[in-house]
Chains A and B, each alone.
Chain A
């Protein structure tokens, strides 16, 4: 038995239709190049790049409507599943750092600098992007529900799962958002707080006491359970149901639109997060000698990995949305041709 090698693993990354068509001959070429002494990591990296191109472009895929609809559905999932990571990150950003523009330096800042105002605006942009993506995701979810109901092939278990789990995730997210909003002094209307100022005069201290109320804890735990159940299992359920159900072309088209809108919202969030981090760092400390304290923020310099995470997810989402659109139109073209040929 041959030991699995790096190039073999890379070959396995090609789509199934590609492996069926070219897999064997590519294996022979890989064997030849390996026996020549070419480094296997180099062959593997070349194969990985090729596999990515094959998945993105679909070159060599057979002209079958079903195959291209399947590709579209897979691409829609690639574009939408990052939302399950993006939304918690966005909420973390908002509940931990969204009011930094107001909390600049901790002193009551009635007139933040231009950079501070930009940071505030970008935090608002982030809130809007999150709100829009939740609405779009909700619309996509209802479309999928409708699509699953339309086809008799989808059993009641599938329908139930797709109806309940993502809903639980959304409700959990909203509960946590509300709890975060209630415990956030900036959102509650206070202007700011500062370290280095006596606690008796610091407005943050009073709000901090109010954070650990019993109802807040209960809501947090409840929201956490809902998120745990819905948010972690939801993507798998959505993926399973979407891949297994035979969806109609209008439903798939709606899915590609939802995927495109979500990809755009993710890009906006990535840009807002990065811009916010840069802008808040430019805000001068209002009190000499007092460090520029991100008073309401638990993010600190974490905005850099946070923004990089957003950027990575946005890239994945955009690639998925692009492939979904192209594959959908290819599938639609093939469907038209098939219909014309059948009619003749």
Chain B
């Protein structure tokens, strides 16, 4: 059973960026995508806090609004940051799993 405590340590920034690598999405679609990927249900306050920060840092950009929905797209620098973070995470995961294998 997955620990709830570990669930809380997930980085919402990473999840939003990962979700946007699949193509531009609006807020509700991002929440649904993240829920499918990780099982974590984002609230709108959390999501838009992250989006505002990412937009300010130039890691994502807003596209023209379609009705009241505004899609977001990951930028080149956002993709570079995400790649670096995922590589680090993957390295940690590989080492952790190898050590766990030796331990059990």
Q: What mask results when residues 27 to 48 of chain B are scored 1 for a CB within 8 Å of chain A, else 0?
A: 1100100000000010111111
Size category, B interface: 20 to 34
Q: How many A-B residue pairs have CB under 8 A?
A: 72
Chain A binder among B50-58, B73-81, B84-92, B93-101: B50-58
Are A38's CB and B45's CB within 8 A?
no
Are A25's CB and B43's CB within 8 A?
no
Are B53's CB and A51's CB within 8 A?
no
Chain A's nearest CB lies how many Å from the CB of B17?
16
Are A22's CB and B69's CB within 8 A?
no
Q: Which of B49, B65, B68 contacts A59 (CB 8 A)?
A: B49
For B47, the chain A residues whose CB sits under 8 A away are 29
Given the known inter-chain contacts A33-B28, A50-B43, A60-B55, please indicate yes or no for A26 contacting B69, CB distance below 8 A. no
Given the known inter-chain contacts A22-B52, A32-B28, A60-B55, please indicate yes or no for A50 contacting B70, CB distance below 8 A. no
Q: What mask results when residues 8 to 39 of chain A are scored 1 for a CB within 8 Å of chain B, else 0?
A: 00100000001001101111111011000010
Are B27's CB and A26's CB within 8 A?
yes
Interface size for A (C-beta < 8 A) is 27
Name which residue of chain B comes closest to A21, CB basis. Answer: B52
For B51, the chain A residues whose CB sits under 8 A away are 22
Given the known inter-chain contacts A25-B68, A28-B69, A29-B44, please indicate yes or no for A59 contacting B52, CB distance below 8 A. yes
Are B52's CB and A25's CB within 8 A?
no
Given the known inter-chain contacts A25-B26, A28-B69, please indicate yes or no for A59 contacting B56, CB distance below 8 A. yes
For A321, the chain B residues whose CB sits under 8 A away are none
**In the docked arrangement, what's the CA distance between A49 and B53, Å?**
15
Chain A's nearest CB lies how many Å from the CB of B7?
16
Given the known inter-chain contacts A24-B68, A28-B69, A59-B56, please indicate yes or no for A50 contacting B45, CB distance below 8 A. yes
Are A25's CB and B70's CB within 8 A?
yes
For B70, the chain A residues whose CB sits under 8 A away are 24-25
Are B52's CB and A60's CB within 8 A?
yes
Are A26's CB and B44's CB within 8 A?
yes
Which residue of A29, A33, A43, A51 has the most chain B CB atoms within 10 A of its CB atom?
Answer: A29
Which residue of B43, B51, B53, B65 has the most chain A CB atoms within 10 A of its CB atom?
Answer: B43
Which residue of A21, A22, A30 has the most chain B CB atoms within 10 A of its CB atom?
Answer: A22
Are B53's CB and A59's CB within 8 A?
yes
Chain B CB within 8 A of A153 CB: no
For B41, the chain A residues whose CB sits under 8 A away are 38
Chain A's nearest CB lies how many Å from the CB of B37?
17
Are A60's CB and B56's CB within 8 A?
yes
For A146, the chain B residues whose CB sits under 8 A away are none
**In the docked arrangement, what's the CA distance between A18 and B49, Å?**
10
Are B55's CB and A50's CB within 8 A?
no
- Residues of chain A from 101 to 147 with CB closer than 8 A to chain B in the complex: none
Name which residue of chain A comes closest to B32, CB basis. Answer: A32
Are B27's CB and A29's CB within 8 A?
yes
Q: Which of A25, A27, A28, A54 contacts B49 (CB 8 A)?
A: A54
Are B28's CB and A46's CB within 8 A?
no
Chain B CB within 8 A of A48 CB: yes
Are B46's CB and A29's CB within 8 A?
no
Are A47's CB and B68's CB within 8 A?
no
Are A51's CB and B28's CB within 8 A?
no
Name which residue of chain A comes closest to B55, CB basis. Answer: A60
**In the docked arrangement, what's the CA distance between A18 and B55, Å?**
13
Are A30's CB and B44's CB within 8 A?
yes
Chain B CB within 8 A of A244 CB: no
Given the known inter-chain contacts A46-B46, A49-B45, A51-B45, please indicate yes or no for A28 contacting B27, CB distance below 8 A. yes
A-B contact pairs, 27 of them (CB 8 A): A21-B52, A22-B48, A24-B70, A25-B27, A25-B48, A25-B70, A26-B44, A27-B68, A29-B44, A29-B48, A32-B28, A33-B28, A38-B41, A45-B43, A46-B46, A47-B43, A48-B45, A49-B45, A50-B45, A53-B45, A53-B49, A54-B52, A59-B53, A59-B56, A60-B52, A60-B55, A60-B56
Return the 8 tightest CB-CB contacts between A and B, nearest first: A50-B45, A46-B43, A60-B52, A32-B28, A46-B45, A29-B27, A47-B45, A29-B44
Interface residues of B (CB under 8 A from A): 26-28, 31, 41, 43-49, 51-53, 55-56, 65, 68-70
